[in-house]
Structure 1
């Protein structure tokens, strides 16, 4: 069995400014429609939710060994929540291809945040 890890930390304010300044141009380039619907429904907590998901996407891309490059984009990684509240990762397109190249069997992610920063760690195993 092989294990691949990735981690990322992002400033919540950086994500908030990107969304406020670039609006849908940024949102639709980085987040899936499901992620946008979930985060915007969080009202006051939407910036934290967007930032945590951005960090998770980055962490997964690093666990894949590509970062956001080699055809892997933020839209290739979707973060959703299972009924118990734990995050679930789904990979599409080039991220799915890379996952399969690595012989991936699963990806787990943990997300956390403070008022100013969001952090995520992803573990991919094969």
Structure 2
């Protein structure tokens, strides 16, 4: 059963401006080491790569109903790739705890993520499914 959905639309130019203005401070505050490494491998689309991940963090925070408060921080939400190559989320700290809190007893949460971009926009959708254990 679907227990939550969230979406976000992010302007790639806004992320590029944040990178130019705040540089490493912005990267360290918002993105995991894995996300930073992925973006570094894509120098011509670095801002777009990060914008999709920024949108994914926002979409997840909306899906769990907290935004970035109640102990849910941006770096607790990391975009990673499954062995198939599909994007998904690696959750730690308050984000993982919030996911556990909204998951019904006797179920496990499965996070589905889709990302897309078409300059100047990046978009993410998160669907959280509860599967019986």
User: Structure 2 length as normaliser, TM-score?
Assistant: 0.90
Deviation of the 1:84 alpha carbon: 3.0
Contact kept, 8 Å, 2:7 with 2:124, in 1: the verdict is yes
Q: CA deviation at 1:83?
A: 3.5
Alignment of 1:76-95 (within 5 A): 76-95=76-95
SS in 1 for 2:71: coil
> After the TM superposition, which segments of 4 or more aligned residues of structure 1 sit over 4 Å from their partners?
none
TM-score (norm. length: structure 1): 0.95
Are the counterparts in 1 of residues 2 and 127 from structure 2 also a CA contact under 8 Å?
Answer: no
For residues 82 and 107 of structure 1, what CA distance do their matches in structure 2 show? 12
Q: Among 102, 107, 110, which residue is 2:114 paired with? A: 110
Deviations 1:89-115, CA, capped at 9 Å, x for gaps? 111101111100111511111000001
Q: Does the 8 Å contact 2:10/2:51 carry over to 1?
A: yes
The structure with the greater share of residues assigned to strand is: 2
Measured in 2, the distance between the counterparts of 1:20 and 1:41 equals 18
Extract unaligned runs of 5+ from structure 2: none
Range that drifts further, 10-19 or 83-92:
83-92
Structure index of larger Rg: 2
Q: CA deviation at 1:17?
A: 0.5
Deviations 1:34-87 (A, max 9, x none): 100111111101111000000011101111111111111110101011243210
- Compute the RMSD of aligned alpha carbons: 1.1
Q: How many residues are treated as equivalent by the alignment?
A: 126
Picking from 112, 124, 127, the partner of 1:123 is: 127
Separation (CA, whole Å) in 2 of partners of 1:85 and 1:105? 20
- In the other structure, the counterpart of 1:30 is 30
